[in-house]
Amino acid sequence: MTGELTDKEKSELQGWLEESGENKRYYRKMQGFFARGRSEEIDVRKNFRQFERKTYGKRRYLLVNVLKYAAVFLLLIGSVGLWWELKSGAGETEGKRLALSPGEEKAVLYTGDGKKILLESQWSRNIAVTDSLHVRQDSNVLNYATLSGCEKKIEEIHTMQVPRGGEFAMKLSDGTMVYLNSETNLRYPVQFHGEERRVILSGEAYFDVAHDKKHPFIVRAGDLKIKVLGTKFNIEAYPDSETITTTLLEGSVEVESRLSRECIRMVPSQQLSYDIQSGEMKLSTISDSKEPVRWKDNVWVLHQTPFTQVCHRLEQMFNVKIVIMNDKFIGKKFTGEFRFGDSLESILEVIRITTPFTYEREEDTIILK
């Protein structure tokens, strides 16, 4: 390989990137991998094989030849951004086109003594939290389960903070898996001690709780306490939202309001909505309990979703501010789905099919007219 792409190869690569958000996400992972240290002479085939191994072979079905073109080009331009190179031929800027992409796998870990550690998915490493405490990071998962057999009792509280436009996952010391959505904080002990396993959530997270009959797992989200033994459920509890929503996929949970002391037991395929202002809890049955948690698999589902909520989620995904100056959106609800990795521009263009409007960008603000 010479490090140069033919016009045909560039065309193939551009077509592959435009096929889906998943392809763009995979490209960004490859971009991050190749960005970590470069030299003038690089064995492209060797580096690409290393990249394939580090991504666990999950995308073997993709267009390998096209990815090799991308690998060569990334090395050639220093990982500046292939998307820019392919799209900027006519001199048009990304800022004008709104071609922003969401869903970077990143987070920040805050330790008990205030230490701040940046987490990005291209890393696999042991993180030295203290001189005697190391936590394993495997790509986009921070793993505390390795501490379960530790003889020394560790009394320390950590906070995982996922910023706007980010996502991350973690395995707690008891083996519970937690997937954190954009703009989410989770506060948790490095090791669970005592009769209960307690965590505090602000934002949205999907929990796959390790079963332990003797030690209930409790999530505190705003005024709600969600108690489980071992189950799979999702909690959406953003501080600026009017409701807290709990969706149960497997097992059972008890949801209790700290204000009213009302307690409701949920079974699979049920969703509970808690009104933060009134304290009212509404329980409903949903046809597909997996639909609200498809964000975990990089799919954003809308089902009669008010446009204000759509805009709020777009702000979280793309780290922008959206200003609505069009009365056509009042009372509008939308149904559909998008993949994380779809550009903001493409999402807005789909919405324009049903509700014509114009938009423009001023720095980090999107104005809908």
pLDDT tens string for the chain (369 positions)?
444 566 776 677 777 777 666 566 556 555 544 444 443 334 444 444 554 454 444 444 444 445 544 544 444 433 333 333 333 333 333 334 455 555 567 899 999 888 899 998 778 888 877 767 788 888 889 999 877 556 667 788 999 999 987 889 999 999 999 999 989 999 999 989 889 999 999 999 999 999 998 999 999 999 999 999 889 999 999 988 889 999 999 999 999 998 888 999 999 999 999 999 899 999 999 888 777 788 877 787 777 788 888 888 888 888 888 898 887 777 788 887 887 777 888 888 888 887 788 888 888 888 888
The CATH class given to the 104-292 domain equals mainly beta
What is the structure's pLDDT at 219? 97
Residue labelled with tokens 């320390």:
156
Domain 298-368 CATH (choose: 3.40.50.720, 1.10.357.10, 3.55.50.30, 3.30.1130.10): 3.55.50.30
> Residue 49: what are its φ and ψ, rounded to 5°?
-65, -40
The overall pTM is greater than 0.75: no
The DSSP bridge partners found for residue 157 are 189
Q: Secondary structure of the chain in the HEC alphabet?
A: CCCCCCHHHHHHHHHHHHHCHHHHHHHHHHHHHHHCCCCCCCCHHHHHHHHHHHCCCCCCCCCHHHHHHHHHHHHHHCCCCHHHHHHCCCCCCHHHHCCCCCCEEEEEEECCCCCEEEEECCCEEEEECCCCCEEEEECCEEECHHHCCCCCCCCCEEEEEECCCEEEEEECCCCCEEEECCCEEEEEECCCCCCCEEEEEEEEEEEECCCCCCCCEEEEECCEEEEECCCEEEEEECCCCCEEEEEEEECCEEEEECCCCCEEEECCCEEEEEECCCCCEEEEECCCCCHHHHHHHCEEEEEEEEHHHHHHHHHHHHCCEEEECCHHHCCCEEEEEEEECECHHHHHHHHHHHCCCCEEEECCEEEEC
Q: Is 231 within 8 Å of 212 (Cβ atoms)?
A: no
User: What is the structure's pLDDT at 93?
Assistant: 34
Strand-pair partners of 178: 170, 207
- The pLDDT assigned to 83 comes to 35
| Angle at the Cα of 110 from the Cα atoms of 179 and 276, rounded to 5 degrees | 55
Output the pLDDT for position 315.
85
